[in-house]
Structure 1
Amino acid sequence: MLDFLQKNTFSIVYTFFLGLMPIFASSSISYWLIMHEQEVQHFKILQWVLVYVASCFSMAFALTPTTFIALLSGYFLAWNAFAPIAISYWVASYLGFKVAKLIDGGRFLNKLSEKPKVKQVLDNLQKDEFKIILLARLSPVLPFAVTNVLFSFSGTKLKNFLTAGFIGMLPRTILSIWLGTQAQEIRKLIEHPSQGSGIQFFVFGLILVSMLGLGYFIKKAF
């Protein structure tokens, strides 16, 4: 175990970093948006293009949560935000996946595969990787950037990762944009992003389906 940690220290630290960063970055952005809401309301097309280019990198490297970007997009752009959000998610997924692969270089998977039982479990999981990726993306509580890294480290096929990930993100993306369109004030949207029992029930449903599905496939792999 110690040998595994020593050889994968940077990969593990990078993963924890991606899990913590959204909390700090989104707080700073929220404060700035509350203070400059009127300016953002008058952004031109070129400015929004730059915003979404920046969001590709910020989501890929855990500076901003994906739900946070979708909520704000819905607030400022309504349903016009759907296409740029979808493209940004896809690009962010690709960036996060590729950068993680460059950082790790296959060491994480190779080290795990040294143990025959672990290798067998990983091989079994890869048979259902499309469904597993879809279920992981469905849950609003699994960090976007962290799952990018974990799927990259585990040797997931890029095509399956991008396709299943995009499909899995759709329900919560549509919900977040809709919530943004319903908000009257940006402060209330940021402080209370999911008010209403119906919305909370839907979010809980997504989490439940994701957890039960992932649990089933993990149990099946073992």
Structure 2
Amino acid sequence: MLSFFKKNTFTILYTFFLGLMPLLASSSLSYWIITHEQEVHHFSTQAWCIAFLLACFSMAFALTPTTFIALLSGYFLAWKALVPLALSYWIASYLGYKIAQLIDGGKFLNILSEKPKVKQILENLQKDEFKIILLARLSPVLPFAVTNVLFSFSGTKLKNFLSAGFIGMLPRTILSVWLGTQAQEIRKLIEHPSEGSIAQFFILGLIIFSMLGLGYFIKKAVKFD
């Protein structure tokens, strides 16, 4: 175990960084948006294009949570935000996957594969990887950037990762944009993003469905003939 951590120190630290950064960066961005709300309301089309381009990188590097970006987009742009937002998610997914691939270079997967039982579990999981990716993306509690890294490290096929991930993100994206359109004040939206029984019920449903589905496929993968 100690040898595993030594060989993957940078990889593990990078994953930890991705899990921590959204809290720090979103707090700073929230303050700026609250104090410059009127300026954002008057953004030009070009300014919004730049904002979504920056969001691609900020989400890929875990500087801003995807739900946070969707809420703000819905608040300022309403349903017009859905297409550029979905495209931004797709690009951020690709960047996160490729960056993790460059950092790790396959070492993480190779070390895990040295153990026969672990290798068998990984191979079993890969048989259902499309469904697993879709379920992971459905859950609002699984960090976007961290799952990008984990799927990249585990050798997930890029085609499955992008297509299943895109489909899985749609329900929570639509919900977040809708919540943004319903908000009356930007501060209230940021501080209480999922206020309301309908939103909470839907979020809870996504979490339960995702966790049950992932639990089923993990249980299935660890069973050996």
TM-score of Structure 1 vs Structure 2, range by shorter chain: over 0.9
1:175 aligns with 2:175: yes
Question: 1:165 deviation in Å?
Answer: 0.2
CA deviation digits over 1:64-88, x for unaligned, max 9? 0000000000000000000100000
| Aligned-partner Cα distance in 2 for 1:196–1:50 | 32
Q: How far 1:45 sits from its partner (Å)?
A: 0.4
Q: Residue 191 of structure 1 aligns with which residue?
A: 191
1:175 positional shift: 0.2
Percentage of identical aligned residues? 80
Equivalent pairs, count: 222
Name the CA distance, whole Å, in 1 between partners of 2:162 and 2:41.
Answer: 32
Q: Is residue 96 from structure 1 mapped to residue 96 from structure 2 by the alignment?
A: yes
Measure the CA separation in 1 of the matches of 2:59 and 2:215. Answer: 26
Instruction: Tell me whether 1:13 sits opposite 2:13 in the alignment.
Output: yes
Residue 166 (str. 1) matches residue 163 (str. 2): no
After TM superposition, give the deviation of residue 177 of structure 1 in Å.
Answer: 0.2
**In structure 2, distance between residues paired with 1:116 and 1:194:** 44
- Name the structure 2 match of 1:126: 126
Q: Quote the Cα distance in structure 2 between the aligned partners of 1:150 and 1:194.
A: 27
Partner of 1:40: 40
Which 5+ residue runs of structure 1 have no aligned equivalent?
none
Distance 1:212 1:108 in 2: 27
**What is the rounded CA distance, in whole Å, between the counterparts of 1:168 and 1:15 in structure 2?**
22
Give yes or no for the alignment of 1:68 onto 2:71: no
CA distance in 1, matches of 2:134, 2:201: 20
Greater shift after overlay, 137-146 or 188-197? 188-197
Q: Secondary structure at the match of 2:38?
A: helix
SS in 1 for 2:3: helix
Q: 3-state SS of the aligned residue for 1:24?
A: helix
Q: Name the residue aligned to 1:140.
A: 140
**TM-fit CA distance, 1:198:** 1.6
Matched residue, 2:149: 149
Q: SS in structure 1 opposite 2:184?
A: coil
- Alpha-carbon separation, structure 2, partners of 1:169 and 1:98: 19
3-state SS, counterpart of residue 193 of structure 1: coil
**What code does the residue aligned with 1:104 have?**
D
Distance in 2, Cα, partners of 1:198 & 1:103: 41
In structure 1, give the amino acid aligned to 2:73.
S
How well do the aligned residues superpose, as a CA RMSD in angstroms? 0.3
1:199 deviates by 1.0
Aligned partners of 1:24 and 1:127: how far apart in 2?
Answer: 37
TM-score (norm 2): 0.98
Q: Which amino acid aligns with 2:54?
A: A
SS in 1 for 2:194: coil
Moved over 6 A (4+): none
Distance (whole Å) between structure 1 residues aligned to residue 202 and residue 92 of structure 2: 25
Aligned counterpart, 2:201 = 201
Counterpart in 2 of 1:112? Answer: 112
Query: Quick one: distance in 2 between partners of 1:199 and 1:188?
Result: 15
Q: Which residue of 2 aligns with 1:54?
A: 54
Post-superposition CA distance 1:95-125 (Å, at most 9, x none)? 0000000000000000000000000000000
The match for 2:217 is 217
Q: CA–CA distance in 2 between the matches of 1:21 and 1:35? A: 22
